[in-house]
Amino acid sequence: MRIAIASDHAATGLKADLVQWLGELGHDVADLGPQAGESVDYPDYGYKLAQAVASGQAERGIALCGSGIGISIAVNRNPALRCALVGEPLSAKLAREHNDANAIAMGARLTGLDMAKACVEAFLSTEFAGDRHVRRVTKLSNPAF
């Protein structure tokens, strides 16, 4: 699978570990940065990740920052993205199954490597359930306000 991953400075370590692990699993991973721990602005990297998924460069996205909150908000500014903040595998599974999430966000200060791997594994292995959820997901891209 083609996966884009991006972070802010607080999550470069977790990002590097996930990039290596995903590569070992055979995924094509685009590391959108940053590469070092210099202070950066999470919206810049959230927007890069959203563009990569929206354009088809990647099938799924993984966004990381200290809490996962800020970067998930940035990713969700793109109307083609449905990024869910997750902290355990059931949320990652349900984000795919019910919401057709095409990106997940996690907080490096809140989620350890083993839990992050479990979330990513659930996210990548779960298909969208379709059916009654299609109507709801469609409304996410076409708000009635």
What residues are annotated to the active site?
A: 65, 98
Query: Do 61 and 75 form a contact (C-beta atoms < 8 A)?
Result: yes
What are the tokens at 19?
């990039």
For residue 89, which phi and psi values (nearest 5 degrees)? -60, -35
Q: CA-CA distance, 14 to 55, in Å (whole number)? A: 25
Q: Which amino acid is at 122?
A: A
If DSSP codes are grouped into helix, strand and coil, which group holds residue 98?
A: helix
If DSSP codes are grouped into helix, strand and coil, which group holds residue 88?
A: coil
